[in-house]
C-alpha cells in the first residue's frame, strides 16, 4: 500500500497532457545527462527551443545528437557553462544575451553531491559554489531577460532543483568538513533563495515565477562519490526504491510547463504537488540575509531592480 501511495503521484504526472510550448526558449543546467537530460528531452518534445548548459562538452554535444535523432524537428543546442566558475557564468550569460533570444524557462538542475573537500575557482566550497552560488548568479543575470519575456497571462518560470536533504541543512559554519552537511546546506540555500526571489518578483509586479522542486530519490550519477560498501548497497536497492531519471524529472517538467502553475510561485513541489519544506526555509530574516550575502559573494548589488 505504501508503495502504491508513492507511485500514484507519478502516474498522475504521466497522465497529464502538457500544452505545446512552441516559440518558447528554455535553459537547463546539467542537461547533458540524468534528470537534466530527461527534462531537455521532454521540453523539446513540447516544442521548446532548449539550451543545454553544462561543462561536459562531449556529453552535451552527444545529448544534442541523441535528441535530434529521436526527433528531427527538435530545437536543442549545447552551450558551455561551468558553475564552478563565476567568470564562466558571466561569459555564458553574455553569449546568450548577445543572441537576443527571449527566455521563458530556466531550470537550475546541475549539482554535485558528496564530493571530497575542495573549492571552486573563486574559492567557495564545491557544493555551495556549484549547487547554489553559481545558480544564484546565473538566475540574477538572466532575470531581466526572463522579466521581458514573460507576460502576465504567461509568466516566465524559474525551476530550481532542491532535495529532501535540505531538511538536514543549516547555514552555520562547521569546524570540520562533512560532504553530507555541505550538500544539505547547498540545497537549503536553494529553497531560501527561491522563496526570497519570489518575494522580490511579486513585490515588483514582474511576470516571472520561481519554484523549488524535490525530485525524490533518483538513480543518477550523483551517487558516484559514495564509499564502496554504500555504493554496493545502493545498487541493490536502487531498482526497487529509487526513481529513474525520467521519473525524477517529471515534477521539474510539470513546474516548467503545466497550466496549473501559471502565475503560481514560491512553492516547494514534490511528486507534482505542493509540499512543506523545512521550518528554517520559511525564516524571512534568513532568506534576506542569504540574499544579501549572496549578492556580495557574487559581485552583485544587493538591491533588486523594481518595475516602473
**For residue range 23-79, what is the model confidence (pLDDT) as tens digits?**
999 999 999 999 999 999 999 999 999 999 999 999 999 999 999 999 999 999 999
What pLDDT score was predicted for residue 224? 45
Please tell me the class of the 22-298 domain: alpha beta
Q: Sketch the domain layout of the chain as residue ranges.
A: 22-298
Q: Residue 246's pLDDT is what?
A: 83
Give the contacts of 283 (CB within 8 A, at least 6 positions apart). 192
pLDDT at residue 5 greater than cutoff 90? no
pLDDT at residue 225, as a whole number: 44
Question: Which pLDDT does position 84 carry in this prediction?
Answer: 98
> Per residue in 200-214, pLDDT tens?
999 999 999 999 999
Q: Which residues, in sequence order, are bridge partners of residue 145?
A: none
| Closest listed residue to residue 55, CA positions, set 20, 80, 34 | 80
Q: Which of 55-69, 133-147, 211-225, 230-244 has the lowest mean pLDDT?
A: 230-244
Q: Which of 7-21, 84-98, 216-230, 242-256 has the lowest mean pLDDT?
A: 216-230
Q: Is it the case that residue 234 has pLDDT exceeding 50? A: no
Q: Give residue-wise pLDDT tens across range 262-299.
A: 999 999 999 889 999 999 999 999 999 999 999 999 99
**Cβ–Cβ < 8 Å for 27, 288:** no
Q: How confident is the model at residue 12 (pLDDT cuts 50, 70, 90)?
A: low
CA distances from 24 to 102, 130, 151 (A): 8, 27, 12
pLDDT value of residue 298:
97
What's the pLDDT at 172? 73
Averaged pLDDT for residues 233-250: 62
- Mean pLDDT for 119-130 is 97
187 Cβ neighbours under 8 A, 6+ residues apart: 131, 162, 163, 165, 166, 169
Distance CA 147, CA 274 (A): 24
Mean pLDDT of 107-122: 93
The model's confidence at residue 117, banded by pLDDT at 50, 70 and 90, is very high
Q: How confident is the model at residue 4 (pLDDT cuts 50, 70, 90)?
A: very low
Positions marked active-site: 183
Least confident segment among 31-35, 38-42, 83-87, 170-174: 170-174
End-to-end CA distance of the chain: 54
Q: What cell numbers appear for 113 in the block?
A: 553531491
pTM comes to 0.88
Rounded-to-integer distance, Cα 244 and Cα 108, Å: 19
The pLDDT of residue 86 is above 90: yes
Amino acid at each position: 500500500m505504501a508503495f502504491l501511495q508513492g507511485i500514484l503521484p507519478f502516474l498522475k504526472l504521466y497522465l497529464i497532457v502538457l500544452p505545446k510550448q512552441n516559440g518558447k526558449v528554455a535553459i537547463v543546467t546539467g542537461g547533458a545527462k540524468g534528470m537534466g537530460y530527461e527534462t531537455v528531452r521532454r521540453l523539446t518534445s513540447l516544442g521548446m527551443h532548449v539550451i543545454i548548459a553544462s561543462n561536459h562538452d562531449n556529453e552535451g554535444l552527444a545529448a544534442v545528437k541523441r535528441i535530434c535523432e529521436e526527433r528531427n524537428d527538435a530545437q536543442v543546442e549545447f552551450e558551455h557553462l561551468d558553475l564552478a566558475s563565476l567568470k564562466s557564468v558571466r561569459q555564458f550569460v553574455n553569449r546568450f544575451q548577445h543572441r537576443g533570444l527571449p527566455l521563458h524557462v530556466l531550470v537550475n538542475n546541475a549539482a554535485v553531491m558528496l564530493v571530497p573537500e575542495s573549492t571552486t575557482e573563486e574559492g567557495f566550497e564545491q557544493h555551495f559554489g556549484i549547487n547554489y552560488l553559481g545558480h544564484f548568479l546565473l538566475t540574477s543575470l538572466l532575470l531581466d531577460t526572463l522579466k521581458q519575456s514573460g507576460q502576465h497571462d504567461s509568466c516566465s518560470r524559474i525551476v530550481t532543483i532542491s532535495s529532501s536533504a535540505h531538511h538536514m541543512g543549516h547555514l552555520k559554519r562547521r569546524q570540520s568538513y562533512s560532504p553530507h552537511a555541505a550538500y544539505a546546506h547547498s540545497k537549503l540555500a536553494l529553497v531560501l533563495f527561491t522563496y526570497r526571489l519570489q518575494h522580490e518578483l511579486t513585490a515588483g509586479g514582474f511576470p516571472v515565477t520561481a519554484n523549488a522542486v524535490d525530485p525524490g530519490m533518483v538513480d543518477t550519477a550523483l551517487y558516484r562519490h559514495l564509499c564502496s560498501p554504500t555504493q554496493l548497497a545502493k545498487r541493490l536497492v536502487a531498482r526497487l526504491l529509487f526513481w529513474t531519471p525520467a521519473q525524477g524529472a517529471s515534477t521539474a517538467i510539470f513546474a516548467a510547463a503545466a497550466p496549473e502553475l501559471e502565475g503560481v510561485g514560491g512553492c516547494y513541489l514534490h511528486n507534482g504537488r505542493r509540499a512543506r519544506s523545512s521550518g528554517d526555509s520559511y525564516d524571512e530574516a534568513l532568506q534576506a540575509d542569504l540574499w544579501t550575502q549572496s549578492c556580495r559573494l557574487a559581485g552583485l548589488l544587493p538591491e533588486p531592480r523594481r518595475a516602473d
